[in-house]
């Protein structure tokens, strides 16, 4: 009876196309986060590594959880910290993990990225983009205030038949066709809810429903201005390993905690985008789920045998 009730309550299925469940702010409660997400209808998770320091954790999570698709990449914020052997190590992780996709990689000229030499970002990004094409795997890309540079590099190296995920996309409507032509999908997170409404609506309407993905980008990208979102509040000291984290209710908004995101909150973004596009959330959820299944069903992946 209870099992039937739970199945009936989950009206849609979703795929978290980009998240960081290996992040130390939430890693200790990952089992609970995954259970909560699956109960809400979020069934699969593309967990993206960001540096040499966490690739082994992502690999272990892919082995431990059938629902986790591991992804390896060097994020632009960590370019300066890379070792001389970073590319060799990255290739080794892919050789040992045929189920893995590429990510998170990218370019960043924002408040954080401007402190990192852009020429180094470009060099590291190009190498990983070429690797993704060589391996015929989808690649998840971070881009902040560098969409012109990104498009130029992708046009030089692409197209990308295995697919490109423009994660937490907040670019302009005008750039959507050029990125689409190169094989891009557009993944939307809680960051979208902080975008100006008219700009967001125009951009969303420029994206084909066959190219839409949803993501949590957990533990970041908590949806803004949504009182019904289920927040994950974790004491800042948890990141330093001083105590065990706990999931806290949102009934104490003044509690001195850091507000973090988790995959079940994709439902909030789904509802937001469905309203913007004037389509049913059921249709949009299923379309995005099938888009993600298609992307992550490359040979060797966990999903390939299901096609």
> Cα–chain-centroid distance for residue 87?
22
Q: Which residue has the tokens 């992550």?
A: 296
Contact criterion met (CB below 8 Å) for 191 and 218: no
Is residue 226 annotated as involved in ligand binding? no
Is residue 16 annotated as involved in ligand binding? no
Contact criterion met (CB below 8 Å) for 173 and 152: no
CA torsion, ordered 140, 285, 279, 199, to nearest 10 deg: -20
How far apart CA 261 and CA 42 sit, in angstroms, is 14
> Strand 232-234 vs strand 101-108: parallel, antiparallel, or unpaired?
unpaired
How far apart CA 240 and CA 236 sit, in angstroms, is 8
Is residue 39 annotated as involved in ligand binding? no
Is residue 242 annotated as involved in ligand binding? no
Residues in Cβ contact with 293 at an 8 Å cutoff, skipping those fewer than 6 apart = 15, 303, 306, 307
How far apart CA 266 and CA 3 sit, in angstroms, is 23
Is residue 108 annotated as involved in ligand binding? no
Is residue 294 annotated as involved in ligand binding? no
Nearest one of 48, 127, 124 to 80, comparing CA atoms: 124
- Other C-beta atoms lying within 10 Å of the C-beta of residue 194: 13
Binning the chain into helix, strand and coil, the percentages to the nearest 5 are: 45, 15, 35
Q: Which residues are annotated as a binding site?
A: 18, 20, 104, 142, 167, 217
Q: Which residues are annotated as a binding site for a divalent metal cation?
A: 18, 20, 104, 142, 167, 217
């Amino acid at each position: 009876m209870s099992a039937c009730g739970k199945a009936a309550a989950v009206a849609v299925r979703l795929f978290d196309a980009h998240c960081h469940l290996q992040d130390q702010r939430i890693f200790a409660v990952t089992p609970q986060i995954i259970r909560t997400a699956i109960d809400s209808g979020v069934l699969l998770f593309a967990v993206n590594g960001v540096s040499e320091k966490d690739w082994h954790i992502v690999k272990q999570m892919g082995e431990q959880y059938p629902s986790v698709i591991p992804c390896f990449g060097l994020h632009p914020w960590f370019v300066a910290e890379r070792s001389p052997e970073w590319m060799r190590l990255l290739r080794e992780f892919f050789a040992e993990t045929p189920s893995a996709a590429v990510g998170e990689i990218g370019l960043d000229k924002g408040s954080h990225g401007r402190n990192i030499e852009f020429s180094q970002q470009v060099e590291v990004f190009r190498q990983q983009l070429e690797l993704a094409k060589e391996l015929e795997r989808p690649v998840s890309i971070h881009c902040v205030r560098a969409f012109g540079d990104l498009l130029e590099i992708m046009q030089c190296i692409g197209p990308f038949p295995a697919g490109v995920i423009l994660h937490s996309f907040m670019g302009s409507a005008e750039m959507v066709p050029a990125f689409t032509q190169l094989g891009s999908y557009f993944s939307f997170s809680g960051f979208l809810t902080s975008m100006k409404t008219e700009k967001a609506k125009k951009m969303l309407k420029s994206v084909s429903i066959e190219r839409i993905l949803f993501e949590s980008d957990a533990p970041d990208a908590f949806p803004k201005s949504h009182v019904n979102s289920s927040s994950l509040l974790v004491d800042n000291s948890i990141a330093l390993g001083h105590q065990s984290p706990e999931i806290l209710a949102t009934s104490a908004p003044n509690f001195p905690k850091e507000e973090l995101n988790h995959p079940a909150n994709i439902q909030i973004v789904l509802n937001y985008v469905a309203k913007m596009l004037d389509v049913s959330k059921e249709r949009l959820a299923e379309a995005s789920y099938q888009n993600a299944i298609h992307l992550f069903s490359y040979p060797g992946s966990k999903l390939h045998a299901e096609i």
